[in-house]
Structure 1
Amino acid sequence: MKGKQSDIQELAGFLERKRITNSKIVLAGGCFDIFHIGHLDYLEAARKLGDVLIVGVNSDESITRIKARPPVFQAKARTAVLAALTVVDYVFEFGEDTLSEQLVRLRPHIFAKGSDYRDRWFPEMEAALEIGCEIRIAGEAKISSSSQLRHLLAPERRRQ
């Protein structure tokens, strides 16, 4: 693989080789629209759960469907920011609304969800349980979000 950014097919083959060495694989994911301290906390905590941290990033189209608005930054920029982080081993973009298909394809040992999912059902839960993947909550209590930052930075708020 070239660099940290990869496509799902290439990544699946790479992870098969990592399993041979008994490396514990962790999968995390999200929109990462406006990167903030909460994202960093989540990824650092997820990295501590295993040997290899793979991060799935929602495509621009999936963010538009999920959030009913386009992303602030395009997927190419969001994946580049994540790839620059030392805690992240590999990054891929996915077009679905959830990571369920990628969980089944990549078969990580651990699926890390952010602290905002503590005590909550999430859409990938069934897929994670189906493949025997451990589900872990990573990071401290959520203190900020891209939506909050977007609202604070909105042009109409700056005029006040």
Structure 2
Amino acid sequence: MKEKIKTKEELINILNKERKNKNIIWTNGCFYLIHDGHKNYLKEARSYGDILIVGINSDSSIKKLKNRNPIKNEYERALDLAALPYVNYVIIFNELSPLKILKLIKPSVYVKGGDYTIDTINQEERRFIESYGAEIKITQLTKGVSTTKLLQNEMPYF
């Protein structure tokens, strides 16, 4: 599984070789605890193209975004995602937004989970994706499953 976790430079080199005639799919998130909702969303995301890249927020960016530390560290979360057969590559980013990586990768398809709408996704990312004609897809939401619910049920004092 470790071989699926890439640095920015490694990923760009791979994509320069693999990109021809293939659709690159990008999605990202914190992925605190991988659950069935994440799995369904990532499986659907993979159906939109050939190579699924999942960006995950680093521990430090989660601390800034959520004002708390993640339950699992960034490497453990990356390994959890890399274990999924429909995920091709995982990359960890330190920024609050993956915009810098998006500008390097230029995915064919940008995917967000069903808890987003076209109006609630990061609008700077949206403008960039639309600027070169890539698709934006919102996956189906798996009802009744969320990290928040898991934490409340399993760790009520979290």
Question: TM-score, structure 2 length as denominator?
Answer: 0.90
Q: What does residue 139 of structure 1 align with?
A: 140
1:142, CA displacement in angstroms? Answer: 4.8
Residue pair 1:115, 1:142 contacting (<8 A) in 2 also: no
Alignment of 1:106-145 (within 5 A): 106-123=105-122, 124-145=125-146
Residue pair 2:40, 2:142 contacting (<8 A) in 1 also: no
5+ long unaligned stretches in structure 2: none
Q: What does residue 71 of structure 2 align with?
A: 72
Identity over aligned residues, as a percent? 37
Q: Distance in 2 between the 1:64 and 1:154 partners?
A: 19
Q: Does the C-alpha gap of structure 1 residues 11 and 156 become closer, same or farther in structure 2, counting only changes over 3 Å?
A: closer
Residue pair 2:115, 2:141 contacting (<8 A) in 1 also: no
Q: Distance in 2 between the 1:132 and 1:40 partners?
A: 27
Q: What does residue 28 of structure 1 align with?
A: 27
1:125, CA displacement in angstroms? Answer: 1.2
Q: Distance in 2 between the 1:60 and 1:27 partners?
A: 20
Q: What does residue 46 of structure 1 align with?
A: 45
Question: TM-score, structure 1 length as denominator?
Answer: 0.89
Amino acid at match of 1:44: K
The aligned length equals: 155
1:141, CA displacement in angstroms? Answer: 4.5
Q: Does the C-alpha gap of structure 1 residues 66 and 86 become closer, same or farther in structure 2, counting only changes over 3 Å?
A: same
Q: What does residue 18 of structure 2 align with?
A: 18
For the aligned residues, what is the CA RMSD? 1.7
Residue pair 1:114, 1:138 contacting (<8 A) in 2 also: yes
